[in-house]
């Protein structure tokens, strides 16, 4: 016994955009086309963020201990 093909779901691949005559409803891939005016993070930015977070996480126990002892 074979299952019937439900055509309601397969019609999506045949839909075309009226303005451009291209297939609509597909997955958009922008990997090869980055957004203009928005460069990615540089190595310097990543190192700066890691440095700031390491200082914050290293000094937070000291600050908490100081606040508990003084207050």
**What residue segments make up the domains of the chain, in order of their start?**
43-71
Which pLDDT belongs to residue 32? 60
More confident residue, 57 or 18: 57
- How many Å is the Cα radius of gyration of the chain? 27
Question: In whole angstroms, what is the distance from residue 50 CA to residue 55 CA?
Answer: 9
- Do 13 and 25 touch, CB atoms closer than 8 A? yes
Tokens for 44? 């310097």
Inform me whether the pLDDT recorded for 16 exceeds 60: yes
Backbone angles phi, psi at 16, to 5 degrees: -120, 150
Q: Which has more pLDDT, 55 or 35?
A: 55
Q: Work out the average pLDDT over 6-34.
A: 60
């Amino acid at each position: 016994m074979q299952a019937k093909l439900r055509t309601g779901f397969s019609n999506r691949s045949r839909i075309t955009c009226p303005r451009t005559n291209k297939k609509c409803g597909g997955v958009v891939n922008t990997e090869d086309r980055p957004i203009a005016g928005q460069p990615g993070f540089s190595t310097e930015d990543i190192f700066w963020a890691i440095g700031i977070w390491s200082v914050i996480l290293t000094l937070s126990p000291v600050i908490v201990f100081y606040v508990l002892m003084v207050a």
